[in-house]
Amino acid sequence: MKLTGFELRVIEMPLVSPFRTSFGVQTVREALIVRAVTDEAEGWGEGVAMNDPLYSSEYVEASVDVITRFLLPALAPVKDLHAGGVAPALAKFKGHRMSKAAVELAILDAELRATGVPLSRELGAVRDRVDCGVSVGIMDSIPELLDAVDGYLDEGYVRIKLKIEPGWDIDPVRAVRERFGDDVLLQVDANTAYHRGDARHLAKLDPFDLLLIEQPLDEEDLLGHAQLAKAITTPVCLDESIVSARAAADAIALGACSIVNIKPGRVGGYLEARRIHDVCVANDIPVWCGGMLETGIGRAANVALAALPGFTLPGDTSGSGRYYSRDITEPFVVEDGTLTVPTGPGIGVTPDADALDAVTVRTEWITF
């Protein structure tokens, strides 16, 4: 293919309710939607960087800048452009994995639409439906938390993930276990909120039979995670620390985790996400697909990824209604605790023009 144009849209999507984690509260999801126009087809991608550099060093405005100033000029001269060549062509630019992932997905989507191949088939999916988990933010009170969890279980979600931080950890977990019992699949996510000295405190979570504790320590502290994994019985899962297949292999070798959360945006794209999956499968490490409050574009691609054989734990592949009253694609709806893997070419969904225009705050076109 030959890249002939590229569109960047900054959008603002109001959340159906505030979403609080250890690094702040979100009421609106600002995101970057991109469209690759080639001489064969068009493709869509989504940048998952947040509006502030809190989850990672990336943020939306920086993503727009690096894509327009560096990434696209590096791809424009490539005459025989294909998705597998995007990462090598952009490797000289350090970091900015979320930006690279958005560009790669748009080009991959265009390539697959041109050939009529679904993303799920391209990645190696083995299922046509995937189990759905839901991420529950930090609440103002335990009764509010219990009401929220009750609602999600009624909607059919098969796994509950509680966001935690110091001061909001043991008691909320205990309350959920006491209210809903031991049969509920339950895990917690700290988003790097703890330190090495908190091992004794985090061990208080062990009696609650959690699936895992996700990213308790700083993303660069692999040694600390390895030490923590020996000090507690709750399995340690890494998220922010896993930025590539090499990082995953190193973390596994160090004993820093026994489970991995794969977020395609965080690792530079769906092709690298598949490599991480393969590394984990080779080492008998279960994986699951994390979420970044994606619209239907990113959600469609995540569901396709979550259908690979190594994804044996329910991911953050929630329905559209978990976050948005109106998605920019046909909504993803949870049925019997699962979502259907799209079967159309590419990511299998296309944005609704009116819905997309309604949330767009800025558009930029680059032609080649």
Per-residue pLDDT of the chain (368 residues; tens, 9 = 90+): 899 999 999 999 999 998 988 878 899 999 999 999 999 999 999 999 999 998 999 999 999 999 999 999 999 998 889 999 999 999 999 999 999 999 999 999 999 999 999 999 999 999 999 999 999 999 999 999 999 999 999 999 999 999 999 999 999 999 999 999 999 999 999 999 999 999 999 999 999 999 999 999 999 999 999 999 999 999 999 999 999 999 999 999 999 999 999 999 999 999 999 999 999 999 999 999 999 999 999 999 999 999 999 999 999 999 999 999 999 999 999 999 999 999 999 999 999 999 999 999 999 999 98
Environment class of residue 136 by beta-carbon count within 10 Å: exposed (0-12), middle (13-18) or buried (19+)? Answer: buried
Residue position matching structure tokens 């630019």: 93
CA 255 from chain center: how many Å? 23
Per the annotation, the verdict on 263 as an active-site residue is yes
Considering the entire predicted model, what is its pTM?
A: 0.95
- Buried b / exposed e over 48-68, threshold 16 CB at 10 Å, is bbbeeeebbebbbeebbebbe
Contact 62, 97 (CB under 8 A): no
| Residue in 2, 92, 163, 230 annotated catalytic | 163
Share of the chain above pLDDT 70, in %: 100
Helix (H, G, I), strand (E, B) or coil at 119: helix
pLDDT (0 to 100) of residue 159? 97
pLDDT given for residue 24 in this prediction: 82
227-251 pLDDT tens trace: 999 999 999 999 999 999 999 999 9
What's the pLDDT at 79? 84
The model's pLDDT over 283-337, given as tens digits with 9 standing for 90+, comes to: 999 999 999 999 999 999 999 999 999 999 999 999 999 999 999 999 999 999 9
Question: First and final CA of the chain: distance in angstroms?
Answer: 13
295, 298, 299, 302: CA torsion to nearest 10: -160
Question: What string of H, E and C letters represents the secondary structure of 180-236?
Answer: HCCCCEEEEECCCCCCHHHHHHHHHHHHHCCCCEECCCCCCCHHHHHHHHHHCCCCE
310 close to 277: Cβ distance less than 8 angstroms = yes
Does residue 79 have an active-site annotation? no
Can you give the pLDDT at residue 22? 84
Check residue 306 and give its pLDDT. Answer: 98
